[in-house]
Structure 1
Amino acid sequence: MSTTPQTVIRPGRPWLDTKGERIHAHGGSVIEVDGTFYWYGENKEFSTPGSGIWHWGVRCYSSTDLVNWEDRGVIIPPDEHDESSPLHPAQGLDRPHIIYNAATEKFVCWVKVMTKGSVQRSTVLTADSILGPYEIARTWLRPLDMSAGDFDLVVDPHDGKGYYYFERVHSEMICADLTSDYTDVTGYYSTHFPQPQPPFVREAPAHFSRNRLHYLLTSGTTGYYPNPSESAVSRSYHGPFEVLGDLHPTDQSRTSFHSQISSVFRHPGKEDLYIAIADRWLPGYLDHGAKAQDAFIEHFAPGRDSDLPMEEFAHVDTSLADYVWLPIRFEGDRPVIEWLDEWSPADFE
């Protein structure tokens, strides 16, 4: 069943594809290929409480307007039969990022895979087409011999050099140079935003460039529970970064509009349109009002184990997670995100 074409994006509302079904591209990003936009991310359609299914592969959608999305299927399917595979549905596969290597003519996808004990490692896949098929190039990679958490991949548009921003788990942010084929790191890296413990450690890095400046948007480490985003700016990929503070100064809840940014997409056909792509992992969080805020503060107080679930909101159903896409505006060189009930990329020049 097809749906009537939409003209606007409605942040925080269930987003349906052109068949009228929920979009499952969580922790995702958008890439433009030959004039078509592709939105990909974690497929959470079967990740209901008690299912034992963390993911059902990486799903992709295509669009020409960033509003109406056609389901192009699961481009990296789960490995249902090998429990030791990083692609097994019970493995904690998160946050796929895909970049294109012009030299090798390959699309390169990295995924983070969490296992017990907060061990986080990477798996790398390559394909000749954005839609696959993808072949595994590396599994269980520990970049720089570190436990690598949330991350972003960046390609310099001028020289094609690749960079890998990742959270050194519960410690600091790392920027590492990628090898020429983008499937590993070279060994050269820099460190940023050191913190003693969660929830202060920065995660979920999202990089973008504007006016020769490099921006990193990050969140605190509070699991699925939202917290304020923070922006930082530098004149180079490796910093040093100057922290600019909260991205959402008008958000009284101090939770980035109850969402976590996974990436920033610069529209190639617009003069200055940058879109923050975020997940609202816990839509029901909004129903608890001030109670949610009080419980949040208590749970993440110093000395508490913030990796444990909050009893007040232990019912996490990621199959019902929504998206919060909002344009970024700039006050000079400072990025700011404000709430819009609805908006359209067509409104930008």
Structure 2
Amino acid sequence: MNYSSIRPGQVWLDTNGNRIQAHGGSIMYLDDTYYWYGENKEKTVPGSGIWHWGVRCYASKDLYNWEDKGLIIPPEPDDLTSSLHPTACMDRPHIIYNAQTKKYVTWLKIMNKDQTQSETVLTADAFLGPYTKVREGLRPLNMSAGDFDLVVAPDGKAYYYFERVHSETICADLTDDYTDVTGYYSTHFPRPYPPYVREATAHFMRNHKHYLVTSGTTGYLPNPSEVAIADSWHGPFQVLGNPHPSDESNTSFHSQITSVFKVPGKKDLYIALADRWLPEHMDLSYDTYSQIFESMFKYGSREEALANATPEALAFADNMDIESNTAIADYVWLPIRFDGEMAYIDWKNEWHIEDFE
């Protein structure tokens, strides 16, 4: 199928006619080509026990039609101890280029079986790989590190924004080779517990301002996003509010932003890339299930949470154990509209890159 527009929330096929599998994804622009990479969930169906099948990459000249370039980081199904084993909870790959070492550096978030979270770091001489693991089980700053973003400054210095699990957001300086943290960091958005703790951090810059777009912590269930702005990498960040004010469901259009891509050659086109993890559960309202998430952490157990829940939340809790078929998760890509410094994301059934200067 040949596409000539972006259609948020609709099934998106590659040039071979297969569902695109690049979840928790990002885009890199190299040599007049866009590369979209992310988690390959093609085998992550209910009952499979498979969380991922490596990191898949696609190439495009127009941001509409994507050619499958295969697995740039394959799974390691023969090694049960590997962070790349298909049962390991590997999320949100981010790749940056180090001009000094001439290496592409990838960080992967790993949710471990003991509920802590760590990072696996790989490097390659070419963007499409092969990638070699250089660190596994990394606990940056000795913290349990969740969703994150990696950013390279114009001077070559790199920064790592991540969720200190169920606590706050951290901005940490990376070492010169981008494979570890230096020890210098700042803290932001301290919150008492989920769903208020921020995750899915996406950084971008506009007019010399640093923006962070984040979501709340409710697993695959969608929630309201939040925009914050600062004058420097380490802040302080000022929270500006929800970028989706027209969304009556309060779920960021039933999606979770994973990254923001500034389109080269366009004056002011920033695309918010988001995953619609649960396209089969569009009826769920954040206002219904958020109380259960809050109560579970506030009271310390599901049993106590249910004892203090409203009737509406109890009705949701009866069906809370949703089996997520992320193999059919869709994508919600929308342009960001700016009003002063505030960033807004409006719903569009269909839109065109060509409509922007």
1:154 aligns with 2:135: no
* 1:268 and 2:264 are equivalent in the alignment: yes
Contact 2:203 2:211 in 1 (8 A): yes
CA contact (8 A) 1:213 1:235 kept: yes
1:20 maps to 17
**Does 2:350 match 1:342?**
yes
2:304 matched to 1:296? no
| Ranges in structure 1 where 5+ consecutive residues have no aligned partner | none
Is 1:242 the counterpart of 2:231? The answer is: no
Counterpart mapping for 1:191-340 below 5 A: 191-286=187-282, 288=283, 292-293=285-286, 295-302=288-295, 303=298, 311-313=318-320, 314-340=322-348
2:160 to 160, 164, 180: 164
User: C-alpha distance in 2, partners of 1:146/1:269?
Assistant: 39
Q: Is the 8 A contact 2:222 2:286 kept in 1?
A: no
The answer for the alignment partner of 2:50 in structure 1 is 53
Question: Are the aligned partners of 1:299 and 1:306 in contact in 2 as well (CA < 8 Å)?
Answer: no
Paired with 2:171 and 2:22, the residues of 1 have a C-alpha distance of: 25
Letter in 2 for 1:163: Y
Contact 2:55/2:73 (CA < 8 Å) preserved in 1? yes
Q: Deviations over 1:216-275 (max 9, x none)?
A: 000000000000000000000000000001010111111100000000000111111000
Corresponding residue pairs, total:
342
Task: Name the CA shift for 1:227/1:76 in 2 (closer, same or farther; >3 Å).
Answer: same
2:120–2:137 contact (8 Å) kept in structure 1: yes
When normalised by structure 2's length, the TM-score is 0.93
Amino acid at match of 2:319: E
Could you say if the C-alpha distance between residues 304 and 274 of structure 1 is closer, same or farther in structure 2, counting changes exceeding 3 Å?
A: farther
Distance in 2 (CA, whole Å) between partners of 1:336 and 1:140 is: 37
Say whether 1:93 aligns with 2:90: yes
Q: Which residues of structure 2 form unaligned runs of 5+?
A: 304-315
What is the aligned-residue identity percentage? 64
Work out which of the residue numbers 9, 33, 37 in structure 1 matches 2:34: 37
Question: Displacement, 1:345?
Answer: 1.2
> Would you say the 8 A contact 2:250–2:286 is kept in 1?
no
SS of the aligned residue for 1:284 comes to: coil
Kindly indicate whether the alpha-carbon contact (under 8 Å) linking 1:199 and 1:306 is maintained by their aligned counterparts in 2: no
Secondary structure of the corresponding residue to residue 118 of structure 1: coil
- CA 1:199/1:305 → structure 2, altered by over 3 Å: closer, same or farther? farther
Cα displacement (A) at 1:276 = 0.2
**Contact 2:194/2:294 (8 A) holds in 1:** no
Whether contact under 8 Å (1:259, 1:324) holds in the other structure is yes
Query: Contact 2:193–2:294 at 8 Å: present in 1 too?
Result: no
In structure 1, C-alpha distance between the alignment counterparts of 2:318 and 2:160, rounded to whole Å: 35
Match of 2:7 in 1: 10
- Structure 1 equivalent of residue 76 of structure 2: 79
The SS at the match of 1:255 is: coil
Shift of 1:155: 0.3
Residue 296 of structure 1 aligns with an amino acid whose one-letter code is Y
> Matched residues in 2 for 1:106 and 1:306: separation?
45
Question: Does structure 2 conserve the Cα–Cα contact (< 8 Å) formed by 1:264 and 1:275?
Answer: yes
Q: Distance in 2 between matches of 1:153 and 1:312?
A: 36
User: CA 1:306–1:91 in 2, change beyond 3 Å: closer, same or farther?
Assistant: farther
Letter in 1 for 2:11: P
| Matched residue type, 1:166 | F
